[in-house]
């Protein structure tokens, strides 16, 4: 892209976001397409996204006892992951259709959350909530909650979402 020039003058460009990841640069994909397998995924964008929030948590194991000197003592137990996805419904979005079909059939989905910085997380998920809102004076929206199955895989150094396959590298 050409520099904005007036005569021999150049306008300074702001670079403050260069080291920051913007939310709009993180997208959620479902492994869905012709010939899609776990080892050879076909990543299809779930369109209209406004959020794709990922969380990890652990159950609390209470280890309080009389020897704790009146202080609580807790340990991390079973870990779990969750994705909360919201967006605007798009009429011809294959990704959202695939998620809805999996929910209706009670099937798990292979999901990848890819960021433009080349990082990604991938896991199998069960869809525990799928809803939409259709107000008369606003956009139709969807809300989906996905609960992870086992340990997620984390990737880095990927050029595109199509590079997310096989064994992860953390």
Per-residue model confidence (pLDDT) at position 58: 97
- 131 CB contacts (<8 Å, ≥6 apart)? 142, 143, 144
pLDDT of residue 166: 78
CA 27, CA 49: separation in Å to the nearest integer?
Answer: 8
Q: How far apart are CA 42 and CA 29, in angstroms?
A: 9
Domain edges within the chain: 23-57+79-163
| Conformational region of residue 150, where left means phi above 0, alpha means psi within -120 to 50, and beta covers everything else | left
CB 125 within 8 Å of CB 145: no
What is the tens place of the pLDDT at every residue in 56-97? 999 999 999 999 888 999 999 999 999 999 999 999 999 999
Nearest to 115 by CA among 29, 20, 25, 50: 25
Q: What is the pLDDT of residue 13?
A: 76
Q: How confident is the model at residue 148 (pLDDT cuts 50, 70, 90)?
A: very high
Q: What is the tens place of the pLDDT at every residue in 22-38?
A: 999 999 999 999 999 99
More confident call, 170 vs 44:
44
Average pLDDT over residues 5-30: 83
pTM here is 0.85
Please name the fold of domain 23-57+79-163: Factor Xa Inhibitor (4.10.410)
Q: Give pLDDT, residue 2.
A: 57
What mean pLDDT, rounded, does the chain reach?
A: 92
- pLDDT, residue 23, reads 93
pLDDT category of residue 11 using cuts at 50, 70 and 90:
confident
How far apart are the C-alpha atoms of 46 and 94, rounded to whole Å?
7
């Amino acid at each position: 892209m050409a520099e904005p020039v007036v005569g021999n003058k150049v306008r300074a460009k702001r670079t403050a976001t260069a080291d920051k990841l913007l939310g709009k640069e993180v997208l959620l994909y479902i492994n869905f397409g012709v010939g899609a397998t776990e080892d050879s995924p076909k990543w299809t964008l779930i369109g209209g996204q406004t959020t794709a929030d990922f969380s990890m948590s652990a159950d609390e194991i209470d280890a309080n006892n009389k020897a704790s000197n009146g202080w609580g003592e807790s340990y991390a137990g079973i870990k779990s992951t969750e994705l909360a996805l919201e967006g605007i419904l798009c009429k011809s979005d294959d990704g959202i259709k695939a998620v809805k079909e999996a929910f209706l059939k009670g099937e798990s989905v292979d999901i990848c959350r890819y960021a433009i910085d080349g990082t990604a997380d991938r896991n199998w998920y069960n869809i525990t909530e799928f809803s939409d809102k259709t107000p008369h004076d606003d956009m139709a929206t969807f809300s989906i909650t996905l609960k992870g199955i086992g340990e997620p895989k984390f990737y880095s150094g990927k050029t595109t979402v199509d590079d997310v396959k096989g064994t992860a590298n953390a």
